[in-house]
Structure 1
Amino acid sequence: MRWLALPLLLLAAPALAQTGTAPLATAGQPRIEAGLGAGGGWLPDYPAAEQNHLQGLAFPYLIYRGEILRSDDQGVRGRFYNSDAIGLDLSFSGAFPSSSDDNRAREGMADLDWQGEVGPALRLTLWRDPATRQRLNLELPVRAVFSSDLTSVSYRGLTASPELAYERLDLFRPGGRFRIGAGPLFATGRLMDYFYRVGPEDVRPGRPEYDAEAGYLGTRVQFSYRMPLTERLSLVAGGRVEAFHGATNEASPLFRDKWNTSVALGFAWSFFQSQARVSSTASPFD
């Protein structure tokens, strides 16, 4: 499961096309932008997998900077409440599919399908420095997870992933945005089963039957950096290190590595920017 690259490329990458000018320029930012993006990454097949694979994607994108619904630097989100100290969003995330034919531990088992997440995310800003455009947040998302083979959709449970995140704007050049975050990940039994359960039909030598349990999935440190190259072209890079020591389902035969590493790189080209602009008095982090 490619938990890093899909949010980075499908959700965060649309915001790559923000112009190279400072976010609080007098005219403000375009309310609507459209463009093309592409990228890829070297990514683990699922949490605690022992194998990584290359995964890539090219896609059209749309940025909308509305009062409630936004698709921007922080992904696709619905803003229920937002202030300098507290924010409440409806957040989205997702993951690429993974073929069991390409994974030794899951050989002969069902593939892991496309996955999507949606749910509320509470943000508490613990520290902010407007002069240097920095802030430290405690982010508390809870999301429902769904999977799809593009013919049907299945509910897979819930995740909770509290994260302490540092952000800095205009790093190295105007319009640059750096973020690094760390925190644990917890999941319900249904999602743990999706990753780690081995049913009677999937038992093989070295792969005994196993029923997964809800609880602690692992801890991750992740970072991303978005850099505008021109007013229309931008680059995004990201990475993640995950540790699974003490995870609830270490005993699963599908639990194969206590460390996972992911890297991803993408770019976006904005071919349309609306004449309508958002308010220049908005927070630079919005």
Structure 2
Amino acid sequence: MRLSPLCLLAVVAGAPAWAQSPEAPLPAARGQPKFEAGLGAGGGFLPDYPAAGQNHFQGLAFPYIIYRGEVLRSDDQGLRGRFYNDDVLGVELSFSGAFPSSSDNNRAREGMPDLDWQGEAGLALRLTLWRDRETPQRVNLELPVRGVFSTDGTGVRYRGLTLSPELAYERLDLGRPGGRFRAGIGPIFATGRLMDYFYRVKPEHVRPDRPEYDAESGYLGTRLQLSYRMPVTERLSLVAGGRLESFHGATNSESPLFRQEWNTSVALGFAWSFYQSETRVASTSSPFD
């Protein structure tokens, strides 16, 4: 949905996994540290919610840990539990999230409850449709199904489910050794509970320009997202990302909270790894693992 801290900053945090100085051997030759710790930060100009009419700057700084285990991994692709993985098929835990949004700063939602921090967790199926090991690059079809939860810091509430199939292209060592480019496009579908969270207008929140509305499950929108991570040194990396979302034909386009058929997001971040274990993870058959 929104360009999220977990989507963007998990990439930021994982950047040193591929980072290297020009003199350092490639990860394939020496492996990668099994454990890393560092500091990451990022920010962007992001829409307040899907199909919102306003964007605001959001930022986050955080410590991070990278662990490259056989099953559980926290790396450049986020937090993952790899139940099955080979050159063609993968089944993993999948996580994402989104920043909160204050209704006081959004004209369409003025007087309504704020949108809280959101987290998503579920399973994702990855099918590799094509790969070139020499480049290396690949095209995946990814099928994540996630439950969505929100919190204001005092409790957690379940908000529904999302299904977001995506066709993704990934290229390693683009621009310089350790650079990683990713582009993905796909639709998003959500249950009525999550649609209500974004688009429902209860009777107590009705205004002359904001009639009552009860949202329905279905098609939320389509997103195109791009990211590029570039190592500066063996311990410092930069990342840039962007997202273009289309809400043409969305199920809840009649909601008074639905304000724009296009949303754009841009974000920048960095990661600095201040600790890397001497224990290395042996290279696998896939440079994308």
Q: Deviations over 1:167-190 (max 9, x none)?
A: 000001000000000000000000
Shift of 1:7: 2.1
State whether residues 5 and 40 of structure 1, in contact with CA within 8 Å, keep that contact through their aligned partners in structure 2.
Answer: no
2:124 — aligned with what?
A: 121
Shift of 1:24: 3.6
State whether residues 8 and 238 of structure 1, in contact with CA within 8 Å, keep that contact through their aligned partners in structure 2.
Answer: no
Please report the TM-score for the alignment, with normalisation by the length of structure 2: 0.96
The one-letter amino acid paired with 1:273 is Q
SS at 1:71 equivalent: strand
1:8 — aligned with what?
A: 7
State whether residues 9 and 38 of structure 1, in contact with CA within 8 Å, keep that contact through their aligned partners in structure 2.
Answer: no
**C-alpha distance 23-158 of structure 1, shift in aligned 2 (>3 A):** farther
1:195 to 172, 194, 198: 198
1:136 to 125, 135, 139: 139
Shift of 1:26: 2.2
The one-letter amino acid paired with 1:13 is V
Shift of 1:23: 5.3
1:152 — aligned with what?
A: 155
Q: How does 1:173-184 map to 2 (within 5 A)?
A: 173-184=176-187
Is 1:274 aligned to residue 277 of structure 2? yes
Deviates more, 1:188-197 or 1:10-19: 10-19
The one-letter amino acid paired with 2:2 is W
Please report the TM-score for the alignment, with normalisation by the length of structure 1: 0.97
Shift of 1:10: 3.4
2:88 — aligned with what?
A: 85
The one-letter amino acid paired with 2:61 is A
SS at 1:198 equivalent: coil
Q: Report the Cα distance in structure 1 between the residues aligned to 2:25 and 2:69, rounded to whole angstroms.
A: 19
Q: Report the Cα distance in structure 2 between the residues aligned to 1:234 and 1:144, rounded to whole angstroms.
A: 31
2:52 — aligned with what?
A: 49
**C-alpha distance 6-181 of structure 1, shift in aligned 2 (>3 A):** same
Deviates more, 1:239-248 or 1:271-280: 271-280
**C-alpha distance 22-118 of structure 1, shift in aligned 2 (>3 A):** farther
The one-letter amino acid paired with 1:189 is G
Q: How does 1:216-227 map to 2 (within 5 A)?
A: 216-227=219-230
1:107 — aligned with what?
A: 110
SS at 1:239 equivalent: strand
State whether residues 23 and 29 of structure 1, in contact with CA within 8 Å, keep that contact through their aligned partners in structure 2.
Answer: no
2:212 — aligned with what?
A: 209
SS at 1:26 equivalent: helix
> CA-atom RMSD, angstroms?
1.1
SS at 2:29 equivalent: coil
Q: Report the Cα distance in structure 1 between the residues aligned to 2:205 and 2:25, rounded to whole angstroms.
A: 55
Q: Report the Cα distance in structure 1 between the residues aligned to 2:249 and 2:29, rounded to whole angstroms.
A: 51
The one-letter amino acid paired with 1:113 is D
Q: Report the Cα distance in structure 2 between the residues aligned to 1:22 and 1:285, rounded to whole angstroms.
A: 17
Deviates more, 1:4-13 or 1:36-45: 4-13
Q: Deviations over 1:121-170 (max 9, x none)?
A: 00000000001100000000000000000110000000000000000000
SS at 2:7 equivalent: helix
Shift of 1:22: 6.2
1:247 — aligned with what?
A: 250
SS at 1:281 equivalent: coil
> Structure 1 residue runs of 4+, over 6 Å off?
none
Q: Report the Cα distance in structure 1 between the residues aligned to 2:16 and 2:132, rounded to whole angstroms.
A: 25
Shift of 1:282: 4.3
SS at 2:115 equivalent: coil
Unmatched tracts of structure 2, length 5 or more: none
Q: Deviations over 1:30-67 (max 9, x none)?
A: 00100001110000000000100000111000011111
Shift of 1:71: 1.0
